[in-house]
Homo-oligomer: A and B are copies of this chain.
Amino acid sequence: MGLKSPKEYVDSLRDERTVFYRGERVRDVTEHPVTRRAIDHVAADYRIAEEPAQRDLMTYADEGGQRHSRYFKVPRNAEDLLRRREMIEASTRAGHGVVLLIKEIGTDFLFAMRAVATAMHAKGKTDYLPRLERYHAQCQDRDVAMAVAQTDVKGDRSLGPTEQAHPDYYLRVVSRNKDGIVVRGAKAHTTGSLLANEIAVLPTRALGEADRDYAVAFAVPANTRGLKMILSPFSESSPSEFHHPISGAHKIQDTLTIFEDVLVPWDRVFMDGEWQYAGAIANTFVQFHRFTAASYKLPWIDLMVGAAMLMADVNGIARANHVREKLSRLINYREAVLAMTKMSAIQHRMLDGGIAVPDPVLSNAAKFHFAENYHTMVRHVQDIAGGLLVTGPAEEDLANPETGPAIEKYLGGKQGVPTRDRLRLMNLIRDMLASEAGGYHEILSIHAEGSLETQKLTIVREFDAKPLLDFTRRCARLGA
């Protein structure tokens, strides 16, 4: 096999996984309206892979001519990374600006884990690499949806795993037996877990020798016994197309994911105790994942820029100097994020096992630039749109004959544009940037894929300073 249909994907989720939502067990995620909406959103991944126009981008043929989702293709060069970026952008466009993330992050894990397993292999830890390769091949063959659970709940963040009030604030191996390892702990904000077939787990940080039992990486099916997912209720929108043109149909789902003494069979264990490699896997994963992040942000930014431009026109202020100023900032923002993302692919580095990873300075700089400036860009779009964003009437008021005609009359903008279209634009902007979903996206901008601080640290650490320091020493005549 190689490619699932959307229907096969949906069917694959009827597996009795343990999901809670607002205090209730969700018996079948394909039936509950909230989870079903999320499933329909991400099923676009399988849908567009079947579209003739997108097929070449979304899939590739292996040496035997078998087609697979392109996500599973190990990147070997700039071209592979650039195509991956394009694919992520395209699938996010299919999600109307909202990332699908059912293969992006899982394959980020597979690539990183493969590189680290290769490094461990060279040091005599020879179990992991063949396991990971088999697992990777199976995932590709079954065209699975994958989630990744990385962020531990952490307790007091000023303390390490073994210093906490209880030992489970970071996920750990509590016992080992002939069948596998038993793990306990909880991972916070796992995106897409309830939409995935497989859930991969890896450490969230570098570890010391005393933290050996926390140095664990593995993958389990989503319906594994002892695995509980509590779906967050926040940023849920009504499905109104008028009021919530984006979030009514497209949104990201995160769970608190609890491992209550879950048994992981040995052939799914990719790290167990190799604390020296915890930092490497945590870090390599995020290098891939920040590139994914920078890639999937683009359609969202494009919607911001596009909505600002259309709104300026409809409001009759497109020629105002301060509006042009704001538009220029929005365009610059877009171009900087995109250019650094592309250049991180072009100037990639090679990891163990011949895997191409985007240049970490550039991918982090792209992600940081996005995050650091996001709120200001939100403000520019809100500013252009006007206060009506949050004081306008409801769809039902438009339908009401006592109020509808007055609304049509009074809330028009530039002549020739229907009032409803003006309100639709307002609603688009409010839904994206001034709503539950808007709040979610602000948090996403700064907390997903690592914090602002982590990105700064990475940038300084990974920067190749030597040529600059040599040049500076020469110009300053140090030692003269």
Residues of A that sit less than 8 Å from B by CB? 20-25, 93, 96-97, 151, 153, 155-159, 165-166, 168-169, 185-186, 188-189, 228, 230, 232-235, 241, 243, 245-246, 254-256, 258, 260, 299, 302-303, 305-307, 309-310, 315-317, 319-322, 324-325, 327-328, 331-332, 335-336, 338-340, 342-343, 346, 361-362, 365, 368-369, 374-376, 378-379, 382-383, 386-397, 399-400, 402-403, 406-407, 409-415, 418, 421, 424-425, 427-428, 430, 433-436, 438-440, 442-444, 446-448, 451-453, 455-457, 459-460, 463, 465, 467-469, 471-473, 475-480
Contact = CB atoms under 8 A, between A and B. Distances in A.
A469 B310 contact: yes
Given A331-B365, A387-B188, A159 B316 contact: yes
B452 A383 contact: yes
Contact of A428 (B151, B241, B475): B475
B476 A230 contact: no
Contacts of A169: 410, 412
B317 A158 contact: yes
Nearest to A440: B390
Nearest to A438: B439
A29 to B, nearest CB: 16
B399 A23 contact: yes
A382 B158 contact: no
Nearest to A400: B23
Contact of A436 (B340, B361, B436, B444): B436
Contact of A361 (B310, B335, B376): B335
A410 B425 CA distance: 42
Closest 10 CB pairs of A and B: A23-B396, A434-B439, A306-B472, A156-B316, A189-B391, A321-B321, A387-B447, A328-B456, A306-B468, A254-B391
Given A186-B410, A414-B156, A307 B472 contact: yes
A397 B23 contact: yes
Nearest to A313: B469
Given A151-B387, A339-B343, A361-B331, A168 B409 contact: yes
B391 A365 contact: no
A479 B421 contact: yes
Contacts of A473: 306, 310
A198 to B, nearest CB: 20
Contact of A476 (B245, B414, B457, B469): B245
Contacts of A390: 232, 234-235, 254, 439-440, 443-444
A258 B407 CA distance: 9
Contacts of A230: 393, 397, 403, 406-407
Most buried by B among A386, A415, A433: A386
Contacts of A430: 234, 439
Given A151-B387, A188-B391, A232-B391, 9 more contacts: A20-B403, A23-B394, A96-B475, A233-B394, A258-B410, A310-B469, A328-B459, A438-B439, A439-B439
A443 B258 contact: no
A228 B403 contact: yes
21 contacts: A20-B400, A22-B396, A23-B403, A96-B475, A188-B388, A233-B394, A234-B435, A235-B390, A245-B477, A306-B465, A306-B469, A309-B465, A310-B472, A324-B457, A328-B460, A339-B362, A343-B343, A376-B376, A390-B444, A427-B476, A436-B436
Nearest to A443: B390
A438 B397 CA distance: 24
Nearest to A362: B335
Nearest to A20: B403
A379 B479 contact: no
A98 to B, nearest CB: 10
Contact of A331 (B22, B399, B434, B460): B460
Given A25-B402, A415-B156, A391 B256 contact: yes
Contacts of A158: 316-317, 319-320
A456 B346 CA distance: 28
Nearest to A324: B460
